[in-house]
Amino acid sequence: SIVVIGSLNMDMVVRTKRAPEAGETLFGQEFALSPGGKGANQAVAAARLGAEVTMIGRVGKDSFGSGLLEVMKQEQVHTGYISQSESQSTGVASIVLDEEGENRIIVVPGANVEMKPADIEALESVIRQAGIVVMQLETDLNMVEAAAAIASRHGIPVILNPAPAQPLGDELLHQVTYLTPNETEAGILAGIPVESVDDAERAARILLQKGVQHIIVTLGSKGALIVNASGSLHVPGFPVQAVDTVAAGDSFNGALAWQLTRGKTLDEAVRFANAVGALAVGKAGAIPSLPRLQEVKQFLQE
């Protein structure tokens, strides 16, 4: 089974002709609340494909928190280890979308960053039973490090999706089995500019040197690049009409985890994850855009 350790956020999206200036009040055109957070998206992505998924995370004792728990349950994700904070609010992203398609986003992580190393250490028995552990960086970095150390101690593979990008210590990188940056994140982690697939490969080689076992750089419509001790392999993407790229990376990570727990080779798993990512960009929204297994099979004509 898959254990996702990560964030749960409520996205509050306001559509407006233009963003207000300081001190100004405007009428907007539309408002939507949508469940998200990279952890929640990745958990649902895997569950929709048929994976057994347990999520470890933290929400507030507020209506957004209970709403997120409800969504996760509906999606068949085990929620028994999603705790509720006494003092912090549920993570939120306040998103202003203007007519030009520009967005302005403020994230308040709230309860997501309240989960500390001691909290994850108390869940060692959950981690050691996992087939794979999946994490991102919207939670406390010390907690992520503690979780990776536990997984590594028990020989459980770890997927780390290093988003949003931040510099990571060598000790953590050593404990990561599969690192899944996009091109920008790969550049930041490796400390070099990444503007082409060749640059992405150079960045991945630097990360390989730092002790990561497999680096999978996602390349948007170009698919993904696998770099490990046996070499590099570019796994091409699937051409689709991109409607909304939100959650492309999240769907990719959820799909990758599911394929790996089913014993697929990394090449096969990445090809499948590319298909899931392509289907997710073909639809609007985060969680609403995540495909079910049947759709993926049809898409791949299996």
Residue with tokens 């993407």: 237
Measured from the CB atom, is 67 or 220 closer to ligand ADP?
Answer: 220
Among 28, 67, 131, 220, binds ligand ADP (CB under 6 A): 220
Q: What is the largest CA-CA distance in the chain?
A: 58
What are the structure tokens assigned to 142, written together?
Answer: 């010390």
Told to check if 242 binds ligand ADP by CB under 6 A, we report: yes
Which residue ranges are tagged as binding site for substrate?
A: 9-11, 37-41, 138, 250
Told to check if 7 binds ligand ADP by CB under 6 A, we report: no
Among 277, 285, 286, 291, binds ligand ADP (CB under 6 A): 277
Among 10, 278, 287, 290, binds ligand ADP (CB under 6 A): 278
The rounded distance, in Å, linking the Cα atoms of 224 and 47 is 22
Look at residues 16, 35, 37, 36 and name the one whose alpha carbon lies nearest to residue 27: 16
Told to check if 272 binds ligand ADP by CB under 6 A, we report: no
Residue 220 φ then ψ, to 5°: 60, -135
Question: For residues 181 and 215, is the Cβ–Cβ distance under 8 A?
Answer: yes
Told to check if 178 binds ligand ADP by CB under 6 A, we report: no
3-class secondary structure, 209: helix
Catalytic residue, chosen from 62, 119, 250, 267, is 250
What's the distance, CA 211 to chain centroid? 21
98 a catalytic residue:
no
The rounded distance, in Å, linking the Cα atoms of 204 and 192 is 10
For ligand ADP, which stretch binds (CB under 6 A), given 53-61, 95-103, 149-157, 277-285?
A: 277-285
Which residue ranges are tagged as binding site for K(+)?
A: 244, 246, 280, 283, 285, 289
Q: Is the dihedral of CA 288, 95, 243, 281 positive or negative?
A: negative
Number of residues that bind ligand ADP (CB under 6 A): 19
Measured from the CB atom, is 121 or 244 closer to ligand ADP?
Answer: 244
For ligand ADP, which stretch binds (CB under 6 A), given 46-54, 59-67, 139-147, 232-240?
A: 232-240
Look at residues 159, 209, 160, 201 and name the one whose alpha carbon lies nearest to residue 183: 201
Site residues for ligand ADP per CB under 6 A: 182, 218-221, 223-224, 237-238, 240, 242, 245, 248-249, 252, 274, 277-278, 281
Residues annotated as catalytic are 250
